[in-house]
Chains A and B, each alone.
Chain A
Amino acid sequence: MLRTMLSIRLFEQRVKQLYRAGEIVGAIHLYIGEEAIATGVSEALRRDDYVFSTHRGHGHLIAKGGDLKRMMAELMGKATGCSRGCGGSMHMFDPSIGFMGGNGIVGGGIPLALGAAFSAQYRGADSVAVAYFGDGGMYQGVLHESLNLAAKWKLPFIAVCENNRYAATTPVAKSAASHDFSTYAAPHGIPGVRVDGNDCLAVHKAAKQAVARARAGQGATLLDCETYRVEPHCGIIPDDRPQEERDEWGRIENDPIERSRRRLKITQPQFAKLRAEIESGLDEAVEFARQSPMPKIGSCDA
């Protein structure tokens, strides 16, 4: 899991550089600081399980086994991209590994995941479907409709709230009467679990239970993963979150990757080696993307 988290982190740092350099354009939402969630969840998933992602989805795809080259190419709008240059950062797809797309609409992917869960149940497959969404997704009616249906029909549906405390610039405290979103599960009679979203083991443990439950035909689970986004919301939006709060979450002991490194007793030289391996893969990915052709006009006509 450490490797996955670090891959996400370093991928995102590359994206940030390339975005600053103008090689990547568009709306880019970085996952830095939240890596433990996708990593812990995907560690509990199989290739034939489905993931429906959000606008902040690079990490979700990497954790699901996404190909860094094709992802980088997609970000540069190239024909070799994982959506053939038709989707970009928010709309990466790789159905071959069950990654069913990012989404530009807050909450938009939730009922789609519900549908994949329905489809698995219908076909008698034991796949499960994960819907990721931010705390912002909690305010969309469709989440509550979906939890109700998932509970009632006992669908293999796992709703994962990545509660990074902000929806763009709006803090949870300003939007929600209840701050513990795991309680939203109770009315539907499904488990709601609040977890430390910066601890990949804690996330993994909760996800494993949810997946086991879903596979066994016992239905849905809601996970509320507490985390913090390190970067500004999006490339273009200034960050005006309180400095003390950022400092507190930014402390090295709170970093999901560092926490994992310390727990695994990985030494700094070992860590540097791992890092170098991943960086060289990223060099290749960037080079692949740069060398790839632009899509032909008309190639996105579905």
Chain B
Amino acid sequence: MRKLTYIDAIVEAMHEEMARDESVYVIGEDVDIKGGVWKGTVGLLEKFGAKRVRGTPISEAAFTGLATGSAMTGLRPILEIMYMPFCYVAMDQFLNQMAKLPAMSGGQIKLPITIRAQAGAGTREAAQHSQSQEAIFLHIPGFKVVMPATVYDAKGLLKSAIRDDSPVLFIEDRNLYYEPEEVPEGEWLVPLGQADVARTGKDVSVVTLGFPRRKALAAAKQLEGTVDVEVIDARSLEPLDMDTIGASVMKTGRLLVVHEAPVRCGAGAEIVRRVVAEYFDYLDAEPRVLGGANLPLPFSPVLEDACLPQVNDIVNAVRQMA
């Protein structure tokens, strides 16, 4: 075992995949300047050269389309979006072009694209830099969507995403970037579409998306002795591992989904819908979703914190359900 940070795990995954496959390249703003704003591309330029590490002007629409066109013609781009809300500038290229070309071509076009989108909230950067957008991409057919919450998953899922033949939205959380965690040496893959049981328990199933995994684990710890909480990190939202979630619900009969996006039309609503559709008979209580407030995230720290689900909110929600 060794210590590694989430961002370094991402860098390591890209080093390995770029060495493995000549057609993999990185494109995005500042990716070729001192390892990028987030240090997410450290060493790539030095190792693989300017041809494969392409810093771009602030032209999201053009370089997103460029990535798609290059994937249509044999390359495997890793597209970095500096802050995920910036992808709105290129939304036609994402939702109309990238999402639809494989299907509209009758399967003749494959798009092995990894979109590394830096997301997260709670950093006092206000609404245009902080927004959970996974539900938008889940709603539009054509993307796989993953949200790694650990260092191990960041590396393993990114490698799987790069090797996948369809567009994979890889949502990173900047709050997780720089804290080291223990990981094995060498290479590993985490398959797309597998949830992770982060903690086993028998009373309530808490399914988390991204960063709230940590908060749910902290809440579970606080509840030890009163409620035995099972924490399932969904990791991958599309495909969604219904088997793991379902098995947990069959055991506990109680489901709480926690994410930072607003509840309305969120990924949690979809998970609840599927559990109701497929595991209705096992439910002993109304399944719930705990999410962010239904508004553009405010700047002021007190306001922003109040908009995001906190450990206490999870504790209270679980208590009410148990």
Contact = CB atoms under 8 A, between A and B. Distances in A.
A296 to B, nearest CB: 12
A119 B75 contact: yes
A86 B96 contact: no
A52 B61 contact: no
Interface in B75-110: 75, 92-93, 96-97, 101-109
Interface of B: 23, 25, 51-52, 56-57, 59, 61-75, 92-93, 96-97, 101-109, 142, 166
Contacts of B74: 119, 123
Contact of A129 (B62, B69, B97): B69
Given A86-B103, A105-B97, A122-B51, A112 B108 contact: no
Interface in A68-107: 81-87, 91, 93-95, 100-101, 103-105
A123 B71 CA distance: 12
A25 interface: no
B56 A149 contact: yes
Contacts of B97: 103, 105, 108, 112
A70 B108 CA distance: 14
A129 B69 CA distance: 10
B61 A111 contact: yes
A300 B109 contact: no
A115 B70 contact: yes
Contacts of A41: none
Given A83-B104, A148-B57, A111 B72 contact: no
B61 A142 contact: yes
B72 A115 contact: yes
Contact of B66 (A86, A91, A105, A114): A114
A141 B59 CA distance: 9
A142 B57 CA distance: 12
A149 B68 contact: no
A58 to B, nearest CB: 16
A116 B106 contact: no
Contact of A93 (B52, B67, B104, B142): B104
B59 A145 contact: yes
A93 B108 contact: yes
B66 A101 contact: no
Nearest to B58: A145
Nearest to B56: A149
A163 B130 CA distance: 41
Nearest to A110: B65
Given A148-B59, A149-B56, A52 B69 contact: yes
A302 interface: yes
Interface centre among B67, B102, B106, B107 (most CB of A within 10 A): B106
A101 B106 contact: no
Interface residues of A, number: 44
Given A93-B105, A105-B96, A116 B70 contact: yes
A129 B64 CA distance: 17
Interface of A: 50, 52, 81-87, 91, 93-95, 100-101, 103-105, 108, 110-120, 122-123, 129, 141-142, 145-146, 148-149, 152, 299-302
Nearest to A113: B69
A190 to B, nearest CB: 15
Given A83-B108, A101-B109, A111-B65, A149 B70 contact: no
Contacts of A116: 69-70, 72-73
B295 to A, nearest CB: 29
Contacts of B92: 105, 108, 142
A87 B70 contact: no
Contact of B101 (A101, A123, A149): A101
11 contacts: A50-B73, A86-B105, A86-B107, A93-B109, A110-B65, A111-B68, A116-B72, A116-B73, A119-B74, A145-B61, A148-B57
Contact of A145 (B62, B103, B104): B62
A247 to B, nearest CB: 37
Interface centre among A94, A95, A129 (most CB of B within 10 A): A95
A118 B57 CA distance: 15
Contacts of A129: 69
A116 B92 CA distance: 18
Contacts of A119: 69-70, 72-75
B61 A86 contact: no
B103 A115 contact: no
Contact of A300 (B72, B75, B103): B103
B73 A149 contact: no
Given A105-B97, A145-B59, A148-B59, A111 B108 contact: no
